[in-house]
Amino acid sequence: MREFAELVQIMARLRGEDGCPWDRQQTASSLKTYLLEEVYEVLEAVDAGDVKRLCGELGDVMLVIVFFAQLASEAGQFDIRQSLRCINDKLRYRHPHVFGDLQVADAQEVVFNWEQLKRREPDTQDRTSALDGVPRSLPALHRASDLQKRAARVGFDWDSPQGAWDKISEEQAELHQATERQDADTIGDEVGDLLFAVVNYARLLGVDSEDALRRATNRFERRFREVEQRAAERGQSLGEMTLPQMDELWEEVKAGGVDKS
């Protein structure tokens, strides 16, 4: 694709002797933050349903990816073509029902075959646990869900969502007990156990916890800003209002359908 080749050429020039001083001083380590930021901006565009913004944000992600590949190429490690070849080969290998003669009944069987094929690959041969391969750098809710999914694949899972729901009640009780004892060392652990249990329940309901919390946080932000605006329209600031007054405004915003997403 001409546009992609042009991006690769632009990045090589930016990193060249007469290129950009900022680009020339970047390292793989310094680019990590930018990659995370760009990925989250993609998620924001998806959540907002902003197709135009999504188009631009995907370009920003590709820029960082090409940047990483350029650094590796300069170090004589690999180039972007090798990265593309790796993913192309992987996709063909893990989709024998598309590129081969294997027959599958449904998407669940596709996932099962994917995992079986993945275990045969050279870079997974040294894995000794079903939990191996889940990056520690993932956001906490996402990592919790991924670890739970890995455990579930070998049968370590609840028979139904009800079991996970009961576990939430159990963790709530343990947190309450730790709080009553004012056991500071235990309270943090119990909060973590409760969150982990909620993630498990969400997973069994088919809900992505990371996505759900991100959307809930966005709803809170939008509603809170609307509360601030309505208070200002009445000549008040939230700092001057009582909690019941603020709560009344909050319920007004919710009832008015300002944000139901």
State pLDDT tens for residues 156-166.
999 999 999 99
Arithmetic mean of pLDDT over the chain: 93
- Provide φ and ψ at 25, rounded to 5°: -95, 0
Above 80 in pLDDT, residue 238?
Answer: yes
In this predicted structure, the answer to whether residue 261 has a pLDDT above a threshold of 80 is: no
Quote the tokens at residue 96. 């024998």
Q: Which of 159, 189, 166 is nearest to 177 (CA)?
A: 189
For position 257, what pLDDT does the model report?
A: 67
State mean pLDDT over 138-148.
94
The answer to whether residue 260 scores a pLDDT higher than 80 is no
pLDDT above 70 coverage of the chain, percent: 98
The mean per-residue pLDDT over the stretch 42-47 comes to: 93
Task: Quote the CA–CA distance of 102 and 46 in Å, as a whole number.
Answer: 34
Percentage above 90 pLDDT, the chain? 82
Name which of 74-88, 90-104, 124-138 the model is least confident about: 124-138
SS3 at position 195? helix
Confidence at 29, pLDDT banded by 50, 70, 90: very high
Predicted local confidence at residue 97, as pLDDT: 95
Helices marked H in the chain: 2-14, 21-24, 28-48, 51-74, 80-94, 96-99, 107-119, 140-153, 161-180, 184-204, 209-233, 243-255
Q: Is the pLDDT of residue 57 over 70?
A: yes
pLDDT at 153: 86
Domain 140-207 in CATH 1.10.287.1080: yes
To the nearest 10 degrees (0 to 180), the angle between helices 28-48 and 209-233 is 70
Q: pTM here?
A: 0.74
Looking at residue 61, its pLDDT comes to 98
Domain 2-92, CATH: 1.10.287.1080
* Mean of pLDDT values over 75-80: 97
Asked if residue 258 has pLDDT above 60, the reply is no
169 CB neighbour count, 10 Å cutoff: 10
Residue 137: what pLDDT? 87
> Range with the lowest mean pLDDT among 115-119, 139-143, 187-191, 255-259?
255-259
* Largest CA-CA distance found in the chain, in angstroms, rounded: 71
Cα atoms in the Cβ-side hemisphere of radius 13 Å centred on 188: 2
Nearest to 117 by CA among 83, 135, 99, 90: 90
Residue 146 neighbours by CB distance under 10 Å? 18
DSSP string, 85-153: HHHHHHHHHH-HHHHSS---SSHHHHHHHHHHHHHTSGGGTT--STTTT--TTS-HHHHHHHHHHHHHH
Find all residues with CB under 8 Å of 107, minimum gap 6, and list them. none
Residue 259: pLDDT band (50, 70, 90) is low
